[in-house]
Structure 1
């Protein structure tokens, strides 16, 4: 839990400071060293964290990697840092050379925001071309924090990390392939399903038709899974609310409709990419159905006005003024995705 808190705090610090960090050296001190410290290593102890670690490359002497985390006199993780605004893909070859001449099994390439952990799964003592663990520290899931925790000083174990590294690497690549197929199904992917359903010839027209059908089917399936989880969470919330209301002497005049709850689920589905679901809360009133950030009245996300003859969604500008937009059906809320995401930025 302590690591999770430290990483969340570092993520907030990055969001606040990054636009004022102008150099690579500042990136190291403001973002990378706090990350190393969160892993339990004393950045002021040269026996644990060595800055400018010498990694001689053949006839080239005095070549240095930015940091090396040490254990019993040997490096267990070498770290190459770049400015926070630089892309990491162009710097892999430099770290590749350092890895080859050091005794470490792990290397980290980072710009203080994006982190890429490498090892030598494909060929021993030769750094893999692709990282086995990769993340953006400002958008961390609990599962990623668990993997990061394996590099903590208190639990670091080479064999344990290596045993899991292979699974992490291939799961990451498989997920990328699945995401790519869902976004734009390849002919091979389309043919896999079409051949099991269509009994005629696989003409170009048939393939085009099934490409669209496969894409729609996956979109619907993912949407239904999300709605099922949201419905389950909402049911639990309703149960808790009903339990709390047993102690209330007054009978509420507010009646939450299925349409309002459906609208809430759509808003959650839009914002869940940027926020944990637990931070998106609804409050129903007699005049409107409100959706708030962090259950805070001063952080309104939107309001649903569904009680009259027409339906409206109320969105907020930078001055927190509400502007109503007429909609024909609850699904029309998806048309306001960008405005909803912009509203969240006001509070973050």
Structure 2
């Protein structure tokens, strides 16, 4: 299924621009193929009924829902579709109406083929929650929600299992938010942590510039401690000595310095974080690690930066640096040295704001898709 989802993501990235503003084309080219991938036959009325309508009474006329998916002749989830490019905010009310009318349906899906929002009734039974328990932006998120889509497959679908998944996901999201609040380094802690590293006076601005670096360092320390604990436990229960595991990902000082530069260029009003990988150094929105707005490829003769913006938008801000298109929806700016990051402030701010807006379903202006570095 992972490979099939990869092919589907590439399809959306290739076709999204071609179906903007056309709901029927969006359904046929972007939305329908996902359900086909999940094992549903959209042409079989025993599985799926388009333009599904229920009786809301004479005094209230409600438009039909785009799709009702059935099991044993009863709806198990509803899908409300909009054309690609349309903002989804405000369109969940109709979905909630149908959700409330079918107690056995425990899933409502709102999508424009690019952004997907999955709702259930965790707060009040048979009342669709105001917030989705899973969101997926095909053009921005680095990975699809594979665990949830596995549960959504026709061969696996079970309303009880879906609610359990939704409950755990909601609890996890709440816990992540609380941990983020608790682990957000206070200025006093940040000062203490960098006192022997930072040579400048520890002014408020300097301390603020260090805060995201300290937060990521705490996260990395926690991961290393967890790994050390696992290895220690294994060594105690194993009769034979084992070679220590080697972490292939090594965050260099050059990457940390580059992150600090990006943070300085963005300012404190645009909080960010990073996640290192074997292939490249990812810089993402502080609140969502899959919302990557900058990929840094350092440690090479000519370092480069990838941003999810079309080349025609990047070129005027590139300060005469070379700009190429390595993948649909992404632009690559090549530098002679990492010090030239200082020239990319406008690009980095535009990329951050674009990803932030798209994450909220409020894209400021259309762009050409997105992609994943390989």
- What's the TM-score, normalizing by structure 2? 0.58
Match in the other structure for 1:232: 247
Q: Which residue of 1 aligns with 2:46?
A: 47
Residue 81 of structure 1 deviates from its aligned partner by 0.7
Higher relative contact order (CA 8 A, sep 6+): 2
Counterpart of 1:308 in structure 2 is none
**Distance in 2 between residues matched to 1:11 and 1:92, nearest whole Å:** 24
For 1:26, the equivalent position in structure 2 comes to: 25
What residue in structure 2 maps to residue 9 of structure 1? 7
**What is the aligned-residue RMSD (CA, Å)?**
4.9
Q: Is the 8 A contact 1:39 1:151 kept in 2?
A: yes
Q: Does structure 1 residue 130 correspond to structure 2 residue 110?
A: no
What is aligned with 1:87? 87
Q: CA deviation at 1:56?
A: 2.2
Cα shift at 1:280: 7.9
Cα distance between partner residues in 2 of 1:85 and 1:315:
31
Structure 1: segments with no counterpart, 5+ residues: 199-208, 236-256, 294-313
The residue number in structure 2 matching 1:169 is 170
Q: Which has the higher helix share?
A: 1
Q: Distance in 1 between matches of 2:141 and 2:220?
A: 19
In structure 1, distance between residues paired with 2:27 and 2:18: 14
Match of 2:281 in 1: 268
Distance in 2 of aligned mates of 1:224 and 1:47: 53
Q: Shift of the alpha carbon at 1:275?
A: 7.0
- The equivalent residue for 2:323 is 317
The higher radius of gyration belongs to 1
CA distance in 2 between partners of 1:133 and 1:144 (Å): 8
Within 1, Cα distance between the matches of 2:369 and 2:25?
Answer: 27
| Native 8 Å contact 2:12 2:138 kept in 1 | no
The 1:175/1:316 distance shift into structure 2, 3 A limit, reads: farther
Q: Distance in 2 between matches of 1:194 and 1:262?
A: 22
Q: Is the 8 A contact 1:260 1:289 kept in 2?
A: no
Report the TM-score, using the length of structure 1 for normalisation: 0.62
* Cα distance in structure 2, aligned partners of 1:24 and 1:120: 27
Match of 2:357 in 1: none
Cα distance in structure 2, aligned partners of 1:215 and 1:262 = 11
Deviations 1:103-130 (A, max 9, x none): 3111111111111111111222111111
Listed as ranges, the matches of 1:111-260 within 5 Å are 111-140=112-141, 142=143, 144-175=145-176, 213=207, 216-222=210-216, 225=219, 232-234=247-249
